[in-house]
Amino acid sequence: MNALLTDPWFYAAAVPAVILVGLSKGGFGGAVGFVGVPLMALVMSPVQAAAILLPILCLMDIVSVWTWRGIYDRSVLVSMMPGAIVGIGAGWLTAALVTAGMVRLIVGAVAFVFVLRWIYQQLRHGSGHSASHNRIAAAFWGVVSGFTSFVAHVGGPPFQVYALPLRLDPKVLSGTAAIFFAVTNAVKLVPYFALGQFDATNLTASLVLMPIAPLATLAGAWLVRRMRPEIFYPFTYCTVALIAVKLIYDGVLDILY
């Protein structure tokens, strides 16, 4: 029998991780889902955690896209998606060189600066200030999101660096993110398979955890539909800040030790 599936610590880490990722996929909490790999990495390697989560993420994406069907911002997707594909390709090509710790540190630092910028804008312009679409910025953050998503499933912070300042309606933001990451995760299946990450152990663990995925995703969507923008955005930025600190801490530890 698969030794991983008989380890109670696997379930202690993996079940909360899948629930949090599902809530995030449904649109609630934004950055809350970024704890998925780090939480599971407490009881297994980050690489194995990422491989187990990817099929589950794809199932969540299907539920999320269906839940938010017809609700999205086309300009964000058109501007960011090509860059994301490029970023995934770069992650595949450099998979043997870039460590998960390096990615965590970089993503955490970017996300933390992003939150500081938002606080500055709130103090200077007030809560009603929103940014405009910028194709160059969208392409850049699309590449970063695709790359970090490939390496450690942490493509959310770079995506939000571009998307959150637009101050879209929470439902539109959730629907746009659902499509963006559904395509991103589907594309990632090819290089993950080519790199040998989908062995029998990992796929069996994915199947065991999958029943939790749709329920958590639908719960996240239910919560988003009932949150006002003035609550949704501060909550999301706060979770981004918390996860940024966690990623920086984990990244430094991985690099030093």
Tell me: pLDDT of 1 over 60: no
Give pLDDT tens digits for 148-175. 888 778 788 789 889 988 888 888 988 9
Rg (CA), the chain: 17
Distance of CA 251 to the CA centre of its chain: 17
- pLDDT band, very low/low/confident/very high, at 80 (cuts 50, 70, 90): very high
Distance of CA 188 to the CA centre of its chain: 13
Tell me: pLDDT of 189 over 80: yes
- Residue 129: predicted pLDDT: 60
- pLDDT band, very low/low/confident/very high, at 81 (cuts 50, 70, 90): very high
Q: What is the mean pLDDT of residues 119-131?
A: 69
- Residue 73: predicted pLDDT: 94
Q: What is the pTM of this model?
A: 0.78
Between the alpha carbon of residue 209 and those of residues 24, 104, 109, 242, the distances in Å are 16, 24, 31, 26
- Residue 29: predicted pLDDT: 54
Q: Residue 8 corresponds to which tokens in the numbers above?
A: 């109670």
Write the DSSP assignment of 68-92 as a string of letters: TTT---HHHHHHHHHHHHHHHHHHH
Query: Which residues are within 8 A (CB) of 248 and not within 5 positions of it... i.e. 6 or more apart?
Result: 104, 105, 108, 109, 112
